[in-house]
Amino acid sequence: MDSSPANRAFAKQIGVSFPLLSDFNRTVSREYGILNAQHGFANRTTFVVDKQGVITHIDKDREALDPTGAHDACSLMAHREAEKKK
Amino acid sequence: MALNIGDQAPDFELPDHTGRQVRLRDFLGKRSVVLAFYVYASTPG
């Protein structure tokens, strides 16, 4: 739940090429059903969303530390899209 | 309510690290999106 200025410093530190978003008010964490109400932060979770806005993959808690599942889900989507174009 | 695979991802609008507002709907029809929620930068949990 870093603020935008904290994210700016972190982005500079690690050199990100994607947006680091700040859900400072926890509204999106709540809407996505991952807000830990007891501690007031989002449980670590990765969602993969396709071009139609449909969730195709979810990693929760410790499994979300490893990006392999999300990476594979993205690769699968790219493969299916390439197949459609053939 | 917990979201599941096959659900429509709720739209949102949040500021990024440059202060720009980012909306999920801006990516619809263009790119797939990976949303990685974490607590604080450089935390292990």
ipTM of the complex: 0.88
Residue B21 touches chain A, beta carbons under 8 Å: no
Q: A44, B40 in Cβ contact below 8 A?
A: no
Cα(A12)–Cα(A7) distance, integer angstroms:
8
B7: CB partners within 8 A, 6+ apart: A54, A55
Determine the residue among B37, B38, B42 to mutate to test chain A binding: the one whose Cβ has the most chain A Cβ atoms within 10 Å.
B37
The answer to whether residues A48 and A37 belong to one domain is no
- Phi/psi for A37 (5° steps) reads -65, -35
Domain that holds residue A85: 44-86
The answer to whether residues A49 and A64 belong to one domain is yes
The answer to whether residues A33 and A63 belong to one domain is no
Query: Among partner residues B10, B32, B34, which is closest to A31 by beta-carbon distance?
Result: B10
Residue A48 touches chain B, beta carbons under 8 Å: yes
The answer to whether residues A62 and A77 belong to one domain is yes
The answer to whether residues A14 and A37 belong to one domain is yes
pLDDT tens digits for A5-37? 777 777 777 777 789 999 999 999 999 999 998
Count of domains in chain A? Answer: 2
Find the helix or strand (DSSP H, E) in which A41 lies: strand A41-42
Given this model, what pLDDT does residue B42 score? 59
